[in-house]
Amino acid sequence: MEYGIAALGTASKTNFQKIERVQNHSLRIMTGGIKSTPINSMESVRGLESLADRRKKKIVCQYTKFQHLANHPMCKLITNNPRKRLKRTNFTASAQQIHKSLELPDLRPDTPLQSSIDWPPWNQQSQIEIVKDIDGVTSKKSMIKRELHCLTQNMLDKKYPSNYWIRAFTDGSASEAHNSKDAIHKLSRAAQVTIFRLRTGHNRLKHHLFSRFKIGDGPNCPCGANRQDAQHVLQDCPLLDDARLKYWPEPREMNQKLYGSAPQLGITAEFICASDLTI
Ligand SMILES: [Zn+2]
């Protein structure tokens, strides 16, 4: 999402919101959050930093990079007084503002970075080897295509084994990106969604649907209690006493049911499933 996002450092709020909307929509798909679920809750359960914060980091990083590249045109712009046009926002001004608001130390360059433009790859011809001969190929015209293909493939495999190639795909390290201490990540997706909705209170139980969206005939539980919410369903509702006793022979605290170990959370999800309630 944040690829090249420093370029959006001066984007208007409306334009940036268009990108944020994509992230928030993805978060709703990932967590199973409903329309009213606060973005903060979704970000925290997925361990995801807000896009606005990530943009700030990228801008500051890009700004520092420019400062260190003595020959870069942006370096001159930054070093010369950038506040000639006070009314217009520009990259330098916004970067300096973020720098100041985060109270970051000023990393003025002692030794400028070497730009990669100083060694363009096309000037490194000495390293490029052009292979014209392939072992086993005597005359291209007299051999069939399939044979030529196999011999070339063999040569490539031998000379440039696959572990020489730069791997551009992920090595799986992203799977550790979330907060692994939270047992919710060990559950099945369906169970994760149930637990997440119970935790945030943004679910399809009657209290939330009625108080937030005015959906349904009222916030009351069919048992007569005046508030059908996670607390009532998990702990109090007399209509679910049998199921509750089956899944929790011993009384268990709300905190353990929603934030406990993976097996405990699994039981909560199973209980909700058995109760026939839509979460
Ligand atoms: Zn009830």
pLDDT given at position 238: 95
Residue 171 has pLDDT above 60, yes or no: no
Higher pLDDT, 176 or 115: 115
How far does residue 227's CA lie from ligand 1's centre (Å)? Answer: 8
Question: Are the beta carbons of 55 and 9 closer than 8 angstroms?
Answer: yes
Ligand 1 centroid, distance to 230 Cα (angstroms): 10
Q: How many CB atoms lie within 10 A of CB 58?
A: 18
Distance 195 CA to ligand 1 centre (A): 19
- On the question of pLDDT at 105 being above 80, the answer is no
What dihedral angle (degrees, nearest 10) is formed by the CA atoms of 45, 205, 273, 197? 0
From ligand 1's centre to the CA of 235, what distance in Å? 10
- Please report the pLDDT score of residue 86 as a whole number: 57
Cα of 20 vs centre of ligand 1, distance in Å, is 39
Mean local confidence (pLDDT), 236-254 = 95
Q: Is the pLDDT of residue 23 over 80?
A: yes
Residue 223 CA to ligand 1 center (angstroms) comes to: 4
**Ligand 1 geometric centre to CA of 192 (Å):** 23
Rounded to the nearest angstrom, the distance between the alpha carbon of 232 and the centre of ligand 1 is: 6
Q: What is the ipTM of this complex?
A: 0.98
Mean pLDDT across the stretch 85-105?
78
| CA–centroid distance, residue 112 to ligand 1 (Å) | 69
Averaged over 4-17, what is the pLDDT?
A: 88
The mean of the pLDDT values for the chain is 85
234 vs 181, more confident: 234
Q: Work out the angle between the directed axes of helices 13-31 and 189-200 (0-180°, nearest 10).
A: 120
Average pLDDT over residues 5-32: 90
Least Cα distance to 200 among 220, 225, 229 occurs for: 229
Structure tokens at 178: 């979330």
Higher pLDDT, 91 or 83: 91
Report the separation in Å between the CA atom of 200 and the middle of ligand 1, taken as the mean of its atom positions.
19
CA of 246 to the centre of ligand 1 (A): 17
CB-CB contact of 33 with 196 (8 Å): yes
The pLDDT assigned to 268 comes to 96
Confidence band, pLDDT 50/70/90 cuts, at residue 110? low
Flag whether pLDDT at 266 surpasses 80: yes
pLDDT tens digits, 121-159: 666 656 667 777 888 888 888 888 888 888 888 888 888
For residues 244 and 234, what is the distance between their CA atoms, to the nearest angstrom? 8
Note the pLDDT of residue 172: 53
pLDDT surpasses 80 at 79: no
Contact indicator for 8, 16 with CB cutoff of 8 Å: yes
Q: How far is residue 142 CA from its own chain's centroid?
A: 55
- Gap from CA of 38 to ligand 1 centroid (Å): 26
User: How far does residue 222's CA lie from ligand 1's centre (Å)?
Assistant: 6
Tens digits of residue pLDDT in 176-227: 555 668 899 999 999 999 999 999 999 999 999 999 999 999 999 999 999 9
pLDDT surpassing 90 at residue 108: no
- The full DSSP string for 178-205 is S-TTSGGGGS-HHHHHHHHHHHHS-SSS
Q: Alpha carbon 213 to chain centroid distance?
A: 29
How many A from CA of 88 to the centre of ligand 1? 59
Predicted confidence (pLDDT) at residue 236 exceeds the cutoff of 80: yes
- Expressed in angstroms and rounded, the spacing between residue 220 Cα and the centre of ligand 1 is 8
CA neighbor of 217 nearest in space, from 208, 206, 228, 202: 206
Write the CA distances from 117 to 28, 75, 77, integer angstroms: 42, 15, 19
- Supply the pLDDT for residue 180: 67
Cα 229 to middle of ligand 1, angstroms: 9
Task: Please tell me the distance from the alpha carbon of residue 7 to that of residue 9, in angstroms, as a whole number.
Answer: 5
- Ligand 1 midpoint to CA 221 (Å): 5
Distance 207 CA to ligand 1 centre (A): 11
Say which residues have a Cβ less than 8 Å from residue 272's Cβ, sequence separation at least 6. 194, 198, 233, 279
Residue 14 pLDDT: 93
Q: Which pLDDT value is given to residue 87?
A: 58
Task: Show the tokens assigned to 14.
Answer: 């409306």
> In angstroms, rounded to a whole number, what is the distance separating the alpha carbons of residues 10 and 93?
9
CA of 233 to the centre of ligand 1 (A): 6
